[in-house]
Amino acid sequence: EAGVAQSPRYKIIEKRQSVAFWCNPISGHATLYWYQQILGQGPKLLIQFQNNGVVDDSQLPKDRFSAERLKGVDSTLKIQPAKLEDSAVYLCASSFGRGRGVNTGELFFGEGSRLTVL
Amino acid sequence: SQKIEQNSEALNIQEGKTATLTCNYTNYSPAYLQWYRQDPGRGPVFLLLIRENEKEKRKERLKVTFDTTLKQSLFHITASQPADSATYLCAPTSSSNTGKLIFGQGTTLQVKP
pLDDT in tens, A64-75: 999 999 888 999
The long-range contacts involving B3-7, CB below 8 angstroms and separated by at least 24 positions, are B3/B27, B3/B28, B4/A42, B4/B28, B4/B90, B4/B91, B4/B92, B4/B102, B4/B103, B4/B104, B4/B105, B5/B104, B5/B105, B6/A42, B6/B88, B6/B89, B6/B90, B6/B104, B6/B105, B6/B106, B6/B107, B7/B107
- Looking at this protein, which amino acid is placed at residue A36? Q
Measured between beta carbons, the chain A residues lying within 8 angstroms of B41 are 111-112
Q: Are B6 and B102 in contact (CB under 8 A)?
A: no
Q: Are A36 and A88 in contact (CB under 8 A)?
A: yes
CB contact under 8 A, B42 and A91: no
pLDDT for A101 equals: 41
**pLDDT more than 90, % of chain B:** 75
Measured between beta carbons, the chain A residues lying within 8 angstroms of B39 are none
- For A37, which residue in chain B has the nearest alpha carbon? B105
Express each pLDDT in B42-56 by its tens digit: 999 999 999 988 989
Q: Coil, helix or strand for B82?
A: helix
pLDDT surpasses 80 at B100: no
Region of A99 please: left (phi>0), alpha (psi -120 to 50) or beta. left
CB contact under 8 A, A101 and B101: no
CB pairs under 8 A between A and B: 74
Measured between beta carbons, the chain A residues lying within 8 angstroms of B99 are 31, 48, 55, 95, 97, 100-104
Show which of residues 41-70 on chain B sit within 8 Å of chain A, judged by CB atoms: 41-46, 49, 51
Helices (H), B32-72: none
Cα of A18 to nearest chain B Cα, Å: 23
Mean pLDDT, to the nearest integer, of A42-54?
92
Cis upstream peptide for A81 (omega within 30°): yes
Express each pLDDT in B14-49 by its tens digit: 999 999 999 999 987 888 899 999 999 999 999 999
Q: How far apart are the first and last CA of chain B?
A: 41
Query: Which residue of B89, B98, B104 is in closest CB contact with A100?
Result: B98
Express each pLDDT in A6-39 by its tens digit: 999 999 999 999 999 999 999 988 899 999 999 9
- For B50, which residue in chain A has the nearest alpha carbon? A104
pLDDT for B8 equals: 79
Query: Which residue of A48, A101, A110 is in closest CB contact with B100?
Result: A48
CB contact under 8 A, B105 and A41: yes
CB contact under 8 A, B103 and A42: yes
From CA B48, how far away is CA A4, in angstroms rounded? 20
Q: Are A2 and A26 in contact (CB under 8 A)?
A: yes
DSSP conformation letters of B90-107: EEEEETTSSS-------E
Residue A93: name the closest of A58, A45, A60, A41 by CA.
Answer: A45
